[in-house]
Structure 1
């Protein structure tokens, strides 16, 4: 179920790296590729973006495990200990954030798609940062429908 157990979508022989390296590299930019070797263990070739996404998801999973081991307070209160930026959110938003993060993590783990949890985490963190900067205290200025704006 975890990202480290994922079986890449493609398998290539090590000889393909020398004969068709551009093709193999292009494929690895899209999804991880298993490279089999006669003289050793198979290797996985993937983009740095993919590897970093997996690493971020594992760090997030470690934080969620820490939250679940704590039994003091609500889920939102425990999550705010692990993610102090959540304190910039209203209590109701903290509850929504906590549940959204858990749901996104479960979806990421079960589908092996790290971007689901990372996008949710980033979205909530950026929202909290904007609120802390006071960007929620002013009403937006809406343009009239018939008002034309020059192109930059």
Structure 2
């Protein structure tokens, strides 16, 4: 992930004097905690740390699939993400390219949520396809159905 300026920044003394303020800020985004006698620290929520760890794991799989030279990108991605096999061939192709684009966007911005949300959406689609949803035709109403006001 690219280096980011972490804002806001708090002196370490604020952890004891104004801990509520520091913790509230850290719930929104990572914050820097500066120390006079040591290296600065970063305080973040577990949710943020988990998202970053998940992005790194995702990155490892994307890089492995991208650098392998056996098969097409969708085939290599399906090896890294076996749930993709539940998608149609066209769906696997679209999924592979969207995952790579989302990963690039996340890495460029340092925000893991784009890649994670894209992967989650595709994985949920694959799970639903495997369960048989989406294979039957959709019946649309020609006209709206009026309902009573609650």
Deviations 1:6-38 (A, max 9, x none): 331211001111111111111111110010112
Q: CA separation of 1:63/1:146 partners in 2, compared to 1, >3 Å: closer, same or farther?
A: closer
* TM-superposed deviation, 1:147: 2.5
Q: Give the structure 2 partner of residue 9 of structure 1.
A: 7
Structure 1 segment 104-143 matched on structure 2, within 5 A: 104-143=102-141
Q: CA separation of 1:14/1:94 partners in 2, compared to 1, >3 Å: closer, same or farther?
A: same
Q: Tell me the TM-score normalised to structure 1 length.
A: 0.91
Separation in structure 2 between the aligned mates of residue 44 and residue 149 of structure 1, nearest angstrom: 53
Structure 2 portions without partners, runs of 5+: none
* TM-superposed deviation, 1:141: 4.3
Runs of 4+ aligned structure 1 residues displaced above 3 Å come to: 140-146, 148-152
Q: Say which is worse superposed, 138-147 or 15-24, in terms of deviation.
A: 138-147
Q: Give the structure 2 partner of residue 40 of structure 1.
A: 38
Q: CA separation of 1:151/1:84 partners in 2, compared to 1, >3 Å: closer, same or farther?
A: farther
Separation in structure 1 between the aligned mates of residue 45 and residue 142 of structure 2, nearest angstrom: 46
Separation in structure 2 between the aligned mates of residue 127 and residue 51 of structure 1, nearest angstrom: 26
Separation in structure 1 between the aligned mates of residue 103 and residue 128 of structure 2, nearest angstrom: 23
Deviations 1:35-58 (A, max 9, x none): 011222111110111101100000
Q: Tell me the TM-score normalised to structure 2 length.
A: 0.92
* TM-superposed deviation, 1:109: 0.2
Structure 1 portions without partners, runs of 5+: none
Q: SS of 2:135's equivalent?
A: coil
Q: Alignment length, in residue pairs? A: 150
Q: CA RMSD in A?
A: 1.8
Equivalent of 2:73 in 69, 72, 75: 75
Separation in structure 2 between the aligned mates of residue 151 and residue 81 of structure 1, nearest angstrom: 51
Q: SS of 2:33's equivalent?
A: strand
Q: Say which is worse superposed, 104-113 or 67-76, in terms of deviation.
A: 67-76
